[in-house]
Chains A and B, each alone.
Chain A
C-alpha cells in the first residue's frame, strides 16, 4: 500500500498542471496581500462632506418661503463645514469639524438668517473662531476636557440611574482618551473602539434593560454585546484586533479567502487520479501489478486524503511567508476573539489555533467534494466530467443551502450541504438550521459511505476495454 501511495504522489508531483495551479495560487496570494495592504478599513471613516448637492439646492430656493429658508440654512452649514474639510489635513481635524464645529456653525447660521439675533450671532462667531483655532492646532484635548466637564455636570444633575450609568461610561471613555493621548484620528484603533462604543451605547443599554425582546432585537443585542466586549478588550489590552491589513486577518479568514484554490486543487487531483489512468491506458500496467483492485483504489483514496491537508498546509505556509513579508509578522501573535452568545463572553483563540479549528470545521466540505470527485473520476473515467459535475454540485449546494434558509422543506434538509459546514461550532454561533452536530455528522458520513461503496463496487467489477 505504501509503495502504491508513494507512486501516486510521484505521479501527481511530476504533473505540470500541479505547478501551474501552484504558481497561480502564489500570484493570487500576493494580490490578496496587496489589496489587504492598500485597502484599510479605517479609511472609510475618513470622508469629507460633499457640498455640491447643497450648493445646487441652495441656488434654487426661495428665501422668502420659511421652509426653504430652513433648508437653505442647513445647506449653508453643510457647505461651510465642507469647505473647512477641504483645508483639513488630518482625520482628527475632520472629526472635530463634524462633531464640534458643525453644531456651532449650525446655531450661528440659524441665529444669523432665521432668528436674526445679531448679539447671539456675534457670540457664536467668536465661539466658532475659537473652535476653528483649536481644530487647526489639532488640539483635541481641549474638546475632550470640555466634554469631560459637561459629562460631570450632567452626572451630578441626573437622577435617572440608567442615564447616569450611560454618562459614567462616556466619562470613563473620555478620561481614557485623555490619559492615553488618543486623538480623533480615524487610523487609531483605540479611537475607533471608543467611538464605536459611544455610537451604539444608547441602543445597547436600552436593549439590555428591555424585557421580551423580539428575535431581531435579540440578534441585534448579541451583535452589540459582541462589539462592546471586543472594543472593551481592545481598550484594556491595547491590541488592534480589527485591523484587516494583517496576515493574521487573512489567515483567520483563510477558508473564505482561498477556498476557490482549495477547490481547484481538489478537483484537479481527485478528478484525474483514476480517470487519467484509463484515458492514457496506464491502468493496464497498474492493474497487472500484484495488488487487489480495492488496494489500488484505497491507495489512491489515501493519497488524496493525505495530499489535500498537505496542500492546505502548504497554502498556509505560502500565505504566512508572503503576508509576513508584505504586512509584517507581528500580527500573528494577536489572538482571534470569538463571541460566545450563549454565555455572553469572548472566547480567545491564538491565530493558528483558530485557523486549525476553522479548517477542521470545514473539513467535511472538502472531504465530501474530494470523495465525490474521486468517485466520479472512477465511475465515468472522464476527468472533465468529474471536474464539471463536482463544481456544479458545489454551486448547487450553495443554492440549496440558501433555499433551505428561506423555505422550511424537509427534502432540502436531507442534502449534504446543509450539514457539512461545522464552523458555527468554532464561532459559537447557533446552527442556522437548528441541527444537532452529531446528526449532521451522521448525514455527512452517510453520503461519504454511499459514494465510496458505489465507487469500490464499480471499480472492482469494471472491465478494462480497448483504450
Chain B
C-alpha cells in the first residue's frame, strides 16, 4: 500500500525552478534512498512533503491524504528530521522528547522509555542538550521523529555525526521499522551506507528525478566496473571516455556493460595494445549513481 506519493512536484523560488516534475512513491516497508548532489533539490522536496514549503505545482499524498487539502491528517503519522536535529538546547533530552510528545494525543511514558532505549540514549537523556555531541543530538532527533509512532519516516542526512557503531545501530533500527511496515525516506551523502539496507533508490539532479528504481536494478541497469591491465597506457588515453580512469602505468578502470566491454577489448587489440588481465568488479551504489549523474561527485 502506498504511504507517500509525490506526483509532478514543481517548486519555484521567484523565477528559479528548483524542482521539476518530481514524482516518486513509497510503499509500506520501503526504505527509499533519496540521493543527489548538493543543491539537487533533496531537502526542498522533503520540505514540500512535510508542508514546510508550499508547492508551486503537483500533489503530495501521505496515507491517502492530500497535504494541501488535509494537512493535519496527512502529517499525523509522519516522523521526520529535516537538515539537522534542531532541538531546544536549554532543555534536557528527555524534556525535548516529552515536549514533542505532548503535542500528540495519548503518548504514554512507557513508549518514550522504549524509544530512548531504541536510540541508545538511556545514560544521557536527562542531560542538557547543549552538552550533547552532534551524534547524540542526531539520536535524539531520531527519537523525536519516532515519538508519534509514525508509518512514514523522513530522515534528511540522519547519519551526520554518527559514529560507525551508531550508523550500524541506525541501520538495524530502520530495518526493524521497515519490517513493521513503516515507509522510510532517507537522504544521505554516505551512499555506501544506504545500499546495504535500502530497497529503493531515487536519484535527483538539478531538481529532476533521473532514476527511481530498486537498488538491485540500478546496479543491474548499467554496467560493471572492469579493471584492465595493459602494456602501453599512453596509447590508450585517447580511447577512454569521461567515466573511465587510469589507475597507474599498467591499470585502467572502465565502466561498461557486457557488449561495450567486448567492443572495447576489440578496439584495444586493433590498436596493438597488449591485454594481460581483465577483472570484473560489482559497482557500489555511489559508483552507479555517479555514472547516472554524469560523474558528478556527491559531497
Contact = CB atoms under 8 A, between A and B. Distances in A.
Contacts of A89: none
Contact of B102 (A7, A281, A284, A291): A7
Given A289-B103, A292-B72, A284 B88 contact: no
Interface in B136-166: 144
B104 interface: yes
A464 B90 contact: no
Contacts of B51: 287-288
Contacts of A11: 88, 91, 99
A130 to B, nearest CB: 78
Interface in A1-46: 3-4, 6-7, 10-11, 14-16
A463 B52 contact: yes
B83 interface: yes
B243 interface: no
A375 B15 CA distance: 28
Nearest to A463: B53
A342 interface: no
Q: 9 nearest interchain CB pairs?
A: A281-B86, A464-B52, A463-B53, A290-B76, A284-B82, A289-B103, A290-B72, A288-B50, A282-B86
Contacts of B82: 284, 288
Interface residues of B, number: 32
Given A284-B52, A288-B50, A291-B72, 14 more contacts: A3-B103, A3-B105, A7-B103, A14-B90, A15-B90, A282-B87, A284-B82, A285-B100, A288-B75, A288-B80, A288-B82, A290-B75, A290-B104, A464-B52
A10 B99 contact: yes
A280 B53 contact: no
19 contacts: A3-B104, A4-B103, A6-B102, A7-B103, A10-B95, A10-B99, A16-B90, A282-B86, A284-B80, A285-B87, A285-B100, A287-B52, A288-B78, A289-B75, A289-B103, A290-B73, A290-B103, A461-B54, A463-B54
A256 interface: no
B115 to A, nearest CB: 15
A466 interface: yes
B80 A467 contact: no
B47 interface: yes
Nearest to A8: B99
A287 B86 CA distance: 13
A310 B82 CA distance: 36
B72 A464 contact: no
A460 to B, nearest CB: 10
A280 B91 CA distance: 13
B71 interface: yes
Contacts of A285: 86-87, 100, 144
Interface in A175-223: none
A229 B88 CA distance: 59
B99 A3 contact: no
A292 B83 contact: no
B133 interface: no
Interface in A250-305: 280-282, 284-285, 287-292
B43 interface: yes
B91 A467 contact: no
A464 B75 contact: no
Contact of A464 (B53, B76, B103): B53
Nearest to A16: B90
Contacts of A16: 90
Max chain A C-beta neighbours (<10 A), residue from B43, B86, B87 = B86
Nearest to B87: A282
B2 interface: no
Nearest to A289: B103
Contacts of A15: 90
Contacts of A6: 102
A467 B86 contact: yes
Contacts of B71: 292
A149 to B, nearest CB: 78
B42 to A, nearest CB: 12
Nearest to B89: A280
B84 interface: yes
A192 to B, nearest CB: 54
A109 B51 CA distance: 96
A452 to B, nearest CB: 21
A349 to B, nearest CB: 42
Contact of B88 (A3, A280, A291, A461): A280
Max chain A C-beta neighbours (<10 A), residue from B47, B50, B78 = B47
Contacts of B76: 290
B102 A14 contact: no
A317 to B, nearest CB: 26
A222 B43 CA distance: 71
B83 A281 contact: yes
A464 B76 CA distance: 19
A3 B86 contact: no
Contacts of B104: 3, 289-290
Interface string B51-78: 1111000000000000000011101101
Nearest to B95: A14
A303 to B, nearest CB: 14
Given A281-B83, A466-B83, A467-B83, A288 B52 contact: yes
Interface in A314-341: none
Contacts of A291: 72, 103
A412 to B, nearest CB: 40
A3 B86 CA distance: 21
B83 A7 contact: no
A281 to B, nearest CB: 3
Contact of B86 (A4, A280, A465): A280
Interface in A423-467: 461, 463-467
A290 B13 CA distance: 26
Nearest to B79: A288
Interface in B96-153: 99-100, 102-105, 144
Contacts of B80: 284, 288
A65 B13 CA distance: 95
Contacts of B43: 466
Contact of B99 (A7, A461, A467): A7
Contacts of B91: 11, 14
Max chain A C-beta neighbours (<10 A), residue from B73, B100, B144 = B100
A25 B102 CA distance: 32
A124 to B, nearest CB: 81
A281 B78 CA distance: 18
